[in-house]
Amino acid sequence: MLKKIFISAILLLAILSFVVSLLKGNNNGEKSVTVPDRVAVINIAGTIISGGVQEDDIFHQQQGITSGTIMAQIRSAAEDNSVKAVLLKIDSGGGSATAAEEVGRELKRFKEKSKKPIVASIGDTGASAAYWIAACSSDKVYANATSLTGSIGVYMPYVNVEELYKKIGVTSTKIKSGAHKDMMSMDRPMTAEERVMLQNIVNEIYDAFVKTIAEGRKMEEMKVRAIADGRVYTGLQAKNLGLVDEIGNYYDALAAAGELGKIKPDKNGLPPVKTRQQKTGWGYIFGSEMAKIIKGEIINQFKTEAMPVLENNVR
């Protein structure tokens, strides 16, 4: 029985390996083609949050994007000699200020070390933390006339349900180590002292946001503060205010990135691109995930079949 399982597993793995080679087109023995100069396109869509690199998952839909995922692509672009420019393709209403700061620092490091140009393209939305990322180190920022951008500001949400708790007869009690440990709790009002503390935090992050925009856009800080009251602007309004360089779509921004990177364009005037490789359905079925599943099943079968054999030998 064990021998049959082993032979079946080997045959199955061999078949899967052959199918993978066919899908990848690597079974012809031809030499790989030289990669041309290209633009690394980094897609930033959905809510931006702090975190590590996202792994593709066949069972879950990824919501938003993590700072780790963006930073990994920036580092990959810096190490790839074929990449001569980076295009940030943005469609995000914002997210974590910390995530934006992380990505912004990585973009600045990319510019300082690689000297490669960065262009940002804002789609429907590129606001708040997303605008922070777009403006911090880009040589050019593109937006559509109807894009929503800006929203330069910071806020902390706070909800108080103390009166609701009283109506439904819920009492909340805490044992805490300090007077402010439960600051922003929903079941008690915020004190005047705590409000000042939180306002100072918001102001500090806001100052960092404004300074980042002023530096990245080469604007006077006071001019940025005058328009950074948290409101959103259309792409056209943002251009008139100096927050955006050009009105144009993704292809306009891509062409500009290729030009800045001195990349030979195709017949449509566009440079070759490099994007993050995401797994397809075939990749999931015949990739490493399936190999792990098969390996686990083989091990389980060996354990199941081997135990009685060992026991019989002992007897």
CATH code for the domain in which residue 46 is found: 3.90.226.10
Query: Which listed residue (24, 166, 181, 211) is catalytic?
Result: 181
Q: pLDDT value at position 277?
A: 63
Q: Taking phi first (over 0 means left), then psi (-120 to 50 degrees means alpha), and beta for anything else, what does residue 143 get?
A: beta
Q: pLDDT value at position 52?
A: 87
The residue out of 185, 218, 251 marking a domain boundary is: 218
The residue that leads in pLDDT, 273 or 16, is 273
Query: Which listed residue (67, 96, 128, 151) is catalytic?
Result: 128
The residue that leads in pLDDT, 34 or 200, is 200
Angle at Cα 153 formed by Cα 143 and Cα 86, nearest 5°?
Answer: 40
Tell me the mean pLDDT in the region 83-108: 97
Q: pLDDT value at position 282?
A: 46
Cα distances (Å, whole numbers) of residue 222 to 78, 131, 138: 34, 18, 21
Tell me the mean pLDDT in the region 206-212: 97
What CA–CA distance (Å, rounded) separates 173 from 213? 44
Structural domain count, the chain: 2
Burial class (CB in 10 A: 0-12, 13-18, 19+), 269: exposed
What CA–CA distance (Å, rounded) separates 166 from 298? 59
pLDDT at 199 over 90: yes
What dihedral angle (degrees, nearest 10) is formed by the CA atoms of 263, 268, 273, 277? -170
Asked if residue 177 and residue 161 are part of one domain, the reply reads yes
Asked if residue 243 and residue 193 are part of one domain, the reply reads no
Asked if residue 94 and residue 236 are part of one domain, the reply reads yes
The residue out of 218, 249, 269 marking a domain boundary is: 218
- Which of 117-126, 197-206, 273-282, 304-313 is predicted least confidently? 304-313
Q: Is residue 301 part of a domain?
A: no
Q: pLDDT value at position 59?
A: 47
The residue that leads in pLDDT, 239 or 24, is 239
The residue that leads in pLDDT, 53 or 225, is 225
Tell me the mean pLDDT in the region 280-292: 49
Confidence of residue 280 (pLDDT cuts 50, 70, 90): very low
Q: Is residue 85 part of a domain?
A: yes
**At residue 194, what is the residue type?**
E
Question: pTM for the complete prediction?
Answer: 0.77
pLDDT at 60 over 70: no
Asked if residue 67 and residue 211 are part of one domain, the reply reads no
Q: Is residue 140 part of a domain?
A: yes
The pair of three-digit structure tokens given for residue 269, joined into one six-digit string: 């005037």
Tell me the mean pLDDT in the region 250-268: 96
Confidence of residue 55 (pLDDT cuts 50, 70, 90): low
pLDDT at 51 over 80: yes
Asked if residue 269 and residue 235 are part of one domain, the reply reads yes
The residue that leads in pLDDT, 89 or 18, is 89
Tell me the mean pLDDT in the region 300-314: 49
Tell me the mean pLDDT in the region 15-31: 50
Asked if residue 140 and residue 268 are part of one domain, the reply reads yes
Query: Helix (H, G, I), strand (E, B), or coil: what is residue 73?
Result: helix
pLDDT at 279 over 60: no
Q: Is residue 269 part of a domain?
A: yes
Give the domain range for residue 172.
Answer: 155-218
Q: pLDDT value at position 54?
A: 72
- Name every residue whose Cβ is closer than 8 Å to that of residue 179 and which is 6 or more positions away in sequence: none
pLDDT at 305 over 60: no
Asked if residue 92 and residue 54 are part of one domain, the reply reads yes
Asked if residue 72 and residue 121 are part of one domain, the reply reads yes
Please provide the average confidence, as pLDDT, over all residues in the chain: 84
Asked if residue 120 and residue 63 are part of one domain, the reply reads yes
Q: Is residue 193 part of a domain?
A: yes
Asked if residue 208 and residue 115 are part of one domain, the reply reads no
What CA–CA distance (Å, rounded) separates 82 from 128? 32
- Which of 4-8, 39-43, 143-147, 217-221 is predicted least confidently? 4-8
What CA–CA distance (Å, rounded) separates 250 from 253? 5
Tell me the mean pLDDT in the region 246-253: 98
The residue that leads in pLDDT, 280 or 71, is 71
Q: Is residue 287 part of a domain?
A: no
- Which of 55-64, 84-93, 103-112, 304-313 is predicted least confidently? 304-313
Confidence of residue 33 (pLDDT cuts 50, 70, 90): low
Q: Is residue 252 part of a domain?
A: yes
Tokens 């019989």 map to which residue?
Answer: 312
Q: Identify any residues that bridge with 40 across adjacent strands, giving them in sequence order.
A: 86, 274
The residue out of 197, 218, 239 marking a domain boundary is: 218
Contacts 24+ apart (CB under 8 A), 216-224: 216/135, 216/136, 216/137, 216/138, 217/135, 217/242, 217/243, 224/152
Confidence of residue 295 (pLDDT cuts 50, 70, 90): low
pLDDT at 200 over 50: yes
Asked if residue 147 and residue 256 are part of one domain, the reply reads yes
The pair of three-digit structure tokens given for residue 194, joined into one six-digit string: 């705590």
The pair of three-digit structure tokens given for residue 180, joined into one six-digit string: 């402010």
Nearest by Cα to 49 from 70, 30, 29, 35: 70
The question of whether 128 is a catalytic residue gets the answer yes
Asked if residue 244 and residue 119 are part of one domain, the reply reads yes
Q: Is residue 136 part of a domain?
A: yes
Q: pLDDT value at position 34?
A: 79
Tell me the mean pLDDT in the region 152-171: 92
Asked if 130 and 143 touch (Cβ cutoff 8 Å), the reply is no
